[in-house]
Amino acid sequence: MSATTTKPKLKTSAMIASFADPGQKTTSAPFGHALAKAAETDSRIVGLTADLGKYTDMHIFAKAFPERFFQMGMAEQLLFGAAAGMAETGLVPFASTYSVFAARRAYDFLCLDIAEPNLNVNIVGGLPGLTTGYGPSHQATEDMAIFRGMPNLTIVDPCDSVDIEQAVPQLAASEGPTYLRLLRGNVPTVLDEYDYTFELGKAKVLRGGNDVVFVSSGLMTMRALQAADALAKHNVDVAVVHTPTIKPFDAETVLAEINTDRLAVTLENHTVVGGLFEIVASAVVTAGLGKRVVPVALPDQFLDAGALPTLHERYGLSVDRIVAKVLAELG
């Protein structure tokens, strides 16, 4: 009798894993297409990257406008210094790399060459938060915490392709620097199901609910909406407030929703330190509201490598973990 061995199929960790659910509606490279479209009417727009054009969807723009695309090589300090220099000449650069390299490696250049002179440079950061299983070298779990302290910088954390498509022309039109937490590749298309438009600086109530209020940004708004549907089956009625602009923060809209007797939960694809939870918490304290806020966020630690669904489950970003947390809170 011959022995048969069956190895269990392993989950693998692709660098650029999509966080779209199987069968979910997606849009391909929404940033690249939106930038190319905006560039048709705004001749000031140029694109730069640091050897990550294909991985930040900048290649779409490069193909559409080769004369307005600048490859700066794997040199992030040069990327952002040069973007500042281009803006000084009247151009509107969109400069892309991974969020970790923008936030950690090139901070001084973003801060002093772009933010201090308040130049219209748009920083495009791929793999924000936990959107790769590649490990801490590529997981920008603290990018918002790093960037929030930088004066003049507008920070946008889009949920999906709808947000990205609508945000790009607004980022180009707004004075001063911006940081976009890029979702790239096949990006989920979610907000087209709602009565929603992206407005820079505004939070939007996507759905009402009597028991719980979710305040979320980025891809966690997608999860918040899915969790709200799941919680409805438990007879829990959940409102969802989407805050794609992290800074300046629309505290007025958020506090109006929080200042009720509903359970308040923040949801973010970011460490619990220095991100959406702390923004909401400080707004609550500043307004003098004696209100508890429950965070759904990544832990304050360097995260494991692995497959994204595994990691989102492990660190509490999955729909199942959100639902379980809310049910536990409600007792």
The residues annotated as belonging to the active site are 76
Does residue number 83 form part of the binding site for another protein (CB under 8 A)?
yes
Site residues for another protein, 44-63, by CB under 8 A, read 46
How would DSSP label each residue in 161-222? HHHHHHHHHHHHHSSS-EEEE---SEEE--GGGSS----TT--EEEE--SSEEEEE-THHHH
Does residue number 195 form part of the binding site for another protein (CB under 8 A)?
no
Q: Does residue 120 contact residue 170 with C-beta atoms inside 8 Å?
A: no
Q: Does residue 236 contact residue 263 with C-beta atoms inside 8 Å?
A: no
Strands 92-98 and 212-216: unpaired
Rounded Cα gap, residues 141 and 146, in angstroms: 10
Using CB under 8 A as the binding criterion, the count of chain residues that bind another protein stands at 28
Nearer to another protein, 108 or 320 (CB): 108
| Residues 28-47, mask of contacts with another protein (x by CB under 8 A) | ------------------x-
Q: Which of 117, 176, 201, 309 binds another protein (CB under 8 A)?
A: 117
One-letter amino acid of 81: G
Nearer to another protein, 42 or 88 (CB): 88
Does residue number 90 form part of the binding site for another protein (CB under 8 A)?
yes
Other Cβ atoms less than 10 A from the Cβ of 328: the count is: 9
Please name every residue paired with 239 in a beta bridge, in sequence order, or none if there are none. 213
Q: Which of 41, 89, 195, 233 binds another protein (CB under 8 A)?
A: 89
Does residue number 255 form part of the binding site for another protein (CB under 8 A)?
no
Taking the CA atoms of the chain, what radius of gyration do you get in angstroms? 20
Q: Judged by CB under 8 A, which stretch of 109-117, 195-203, 274-282, 293-301 contacts another protein?
A: 109-117
Binding site for another protein (CB under 8 A): 46, 67-68, 70, 72-73, 75, 77-78, 80-91, 93, 108-109, 112-113, 116-117
